[in-house]
Amino acid sequence: MATGILTIDLDALVRNWKALDRASGAGVETAAVVKADGYGLGAVQVARALARAGARRFFVAVAEEGAALRDALGRGPEICVFSGHMAGDTDMIGDLDLIPMLNSIDQLTRHFEALPGHGFGIQLDTGMNRLGMEPAEWAAVAEIALAAEPRLIMSHLACADEPDHAMNARQLDLFRAMTDGAGVPRSLSATGGILLGADYHFDITRPGVGLYGGLPFDDAAPVAHLSLPVIQTRALEPGETAGYGCTWTAETPATIATVAAGYADGLIRAMGNRGHLFHEGTPCAIVGRVSMDLITVDITHLPAPPRALDILCPDQTVDDLANDAGTIGYEILTSLGARYQRRYTGGMA
């Protein structure tokens, strides 16, 4: 087999959700964000495992993701759509009982006219300037919107992964000013906001990356393990080079393994000459550039050529790998390619 094996530990995923549920505190509902195909790990499998564990509310980015999730979960759980009620979404939202998080007066008008009486939520902008109604917009429609009994009012923190950033407190104060007395369940916190403490939790938290083993949840259990098969090994003499552009040169006799994965599989090109793969806990340096389908790795120090090398494993988290690539764990997870053979373990917790 010349494709990598991506193993997703659903028991670890559930442990992470339960840990963030405890951190959210008594009386707070903990939802789950499963957008971008469950952060690249399979939204259907992820959501089913979390539903069995007790999650009853899920968030997706767009209505099409919500439709796939409804097909997998049935009619029980609530599925909220961050992008709101876009033109062309009406049938999906109505037929599949999706809850659009309305982001503008235009969306509010569209939803009330197209699906009167259908559930909805409100998204407010408290300073991120990405999605949601700004204070003046909300003030203009709050009375009408609240009379229709929204399921939820939410906003999103811009700097929650930096606990001491002044923006956190500014957004918290503005969210309270815009929503106090509304009589509607409120949500402000994703993973980082949960870790900021109870002041940020309100009625519903909605962890995302922390479920999948990523920062800023330091205590997260690793969920993804990625093993890459070795296609070929070769001996290099001093002065020989590896890969495109001859960016790495052997200074001593070296043994190089070529593994089956590359930037087409979500392994960022910037890891060339910086990142590592592992064999039974021993790091092996990436040498030369990461190419589309192949990576060359220095295994000179191993006692024998391995059949495979690990790139996501207990020795290297998604955030460790992201540091070598000059990016963030989110990008690593959501870029994991379709060519990997995905295997799921656990999930019956």
The DSSP 8-state label assigned to residue 327 in this structure reads: S
Q: How far apart are CA 286 and CA 274, in angstroms?
A: 6
- The encoded tokens of residue 203 equal 């009625």
Q: One of 35, 200, 212, 330 is an active-site residue; which one?
A: 35
Q: How far apart are CA 276 and CA 254, in angstroms?
A: 16
Q: Looking at this protein, which amino acid is placed at residue 42? A: G
Contact predicate 281/315, CB 8 Å: yes
Which positions ≥6 away from 121 have C-beta within 8 Å?
Answer: 80, 99, 100, 101, 102, 150, 151, 152, 153, 154
Q: Catalytic annotation on 244? A: yes
Q: Catalytic annotation on 18? A: no
Q: How far apart are CA 198 and CA 183, in angstroms?
A: 19
Q: How far apart are CA 162 and CA 302, in angstroms?
A: 40
The residue behind tokens 């909605």 is 206
- How far is CA 19 from each of CA 142, 219, 267, 302, rounded to the nearest angstrom? 35, 9, 29, 38
Other C-beta atoms within 10 Å of 341: how many? 11
Q: One of 18, 212, 244, 263 is an active-site residue; which one?
A: 244
- The encoded tokens of residue 266 equal 């979500």
Q: If we measure between CA atoms, which residue out of 6, 21, 74, 17 comes closest to residue 46?
A: 17
Q: If we measure between CA atoms, which residue out of 293, 304, 290, 292 comes closest to residue 255?
A: 304
Catalytic residues: 35, 244
